[in-house]
């Protein structure tokens, strides 16, 4: 089965029902994508599938066949940060950081669709991303900062 992950074509031999999460983590070694709940309750596994934010723990590998998958590791890197990642660093959002890959991917998808979200828009888009450390106030602030940065660009 062929997938395009972070711009690179990859071939895997897996069951069609294996969740994309585990294809990425265990078969391709892309560990920025996190396992938190396995049932789309926490959002830690969020990736973009053809530009749309999805929970990779609930996306069978077969659904990703031939699709463009973007993970946190492909969104930006420490040397070439995406605006959302830059804002996350500026606001020092992360505590344990385990949910933040999913938060950032969800936020990036939100901003791609809505470049100037209100707090209510943010709450609507981010409601499914659980943060056990409770970093929500800084997530809101960082999304506003990222929106402003993207508008300047």
Partner 1 sequence: MSRLRTITRRGFLIGSAAIAGGVAFGVYSARTPHPNPLLEGLAEGEASFNPWVLVRADGITLITPHADKGQGVTSAQAVLIAEEMDLEMGQFEVSFGAPDPAYYNTALTSEAVPFMPTNESWGAETVRDALGGVAKLLGMQGTGGSSAMPDSFDKLRRAGAIARETLKLAAARETGVAVEDLRTESGAVVLPDGTRLDYTALASAAAGVDPVQDVTLRDPAEWRLIGKPTQRVDIVAKSTGTMTYGIDLKVEGVVHAAVRTNPRQGGALLSYDDSAARAMRGVSDVLEIPGGIAVIADNTWRAIRAAETVEVDWGPAPYLAEQDDHWTALADAFNDDQLDKTWRDEGDTSATISAATDVVQAEYRSPYVAHAPLEPLNAIVRVNADSTDVWTGHQMPQFLQRQVAAITGQTPDQIRFHNQFIGGSFGHRLELEYLKHAAAIAVQMPGIPVKLTYSREEDFAHDYPRHPAIGRGRGVVANGRVEAMEVDIAAPSVMASQMGRIGMNIPGPDSQITSGAWNNPYNIPNLRVRGFRAEGLAPVSSWRAVGAPGAGFIFDSFLDELIHAAGADPLEERIRLMGHEASRRVLETVGEMASWAGPLGNGKGRGVAFVESFGVPFAQIIEVTATDRGIRIDDVWAACDVGTVVDPVNFEGLVQGGIVFGLGHAINCEITYADGMAQQQNYYDHEAMRIWQAPRIHVRGLENGSKVRGIGEPMVPPAAPALANAIFAATGQRIREMPFNKHIDFV
Q: Which residues bind partner 1 (CB under 8 A)?
A: 15, 18-19, 21-22, 25-27, 29, 31-39, 41-42, 44, 71-73, 75-78, 81, 85, 88-89, 92-101, 104, 122-124, 126-140
In the block, tokens 């560990």 appear at: 31
Cα 99 to Cα 128: distance, rounded to the nearest angstrom: 11
Nearer to partner 1, 67 or 84 (CB): 84
Burial class of residue 1, CB neighbours in 10 A (0-12, 13-18, 19+): middle
State the minimum distance, in angstroms, from the CB of residue 66 to partner 1.
21
CB of 80 to partner 1, least distance (A): 10
Q: How far is the CB of 120 from partner 1 (least distance, A)?
A: 8
Residue 77 per-residue DSSP state: B
Nearest residue (CB) to partner 1, 42 versus 147: 42
Nearer to partner 1, 50 or 77 (CB): 77
Minimum Å gap between C-beta 148 and partner 1 is 17
- Closest by alpha carbon to 93, among 57, 129, 120? 129
**Contact of 45 with 35, CB cutoff 8 Å:** yes
């Amino acid at each position: 089965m062929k997938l395009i992950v972070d711009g690179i074509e990859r071939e895997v031999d897996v069951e069609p029902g294996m969740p994309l999460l585990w294809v990425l983590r265990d078969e391709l070694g892309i560990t920025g994508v996190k396992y938190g709940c396995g049932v789309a309750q926490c959002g830690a596994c969020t990736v973009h599938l053809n530009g749309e934010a999805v929970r990779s723990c609930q996306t069978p590998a077969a659904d990703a066949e031939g699709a463009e998958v973007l993970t946190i590791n492909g969104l930006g890197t420490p040397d070439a940060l995406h605006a959302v990642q830059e804002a996350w660093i500026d606001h020092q959002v992360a505590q344990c950081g385990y949910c933040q890959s999913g938060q950032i991917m969800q936020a990036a998808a939100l901003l791609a669709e809505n470049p100037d979200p209100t707090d209510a828009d943010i709450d609507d888009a981010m409601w499914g991303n659980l943060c056990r450390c409770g970093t929500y106030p800084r997530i809101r602030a960082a999304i506003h900062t990222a929106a402003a940065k993207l508008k300047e660009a």
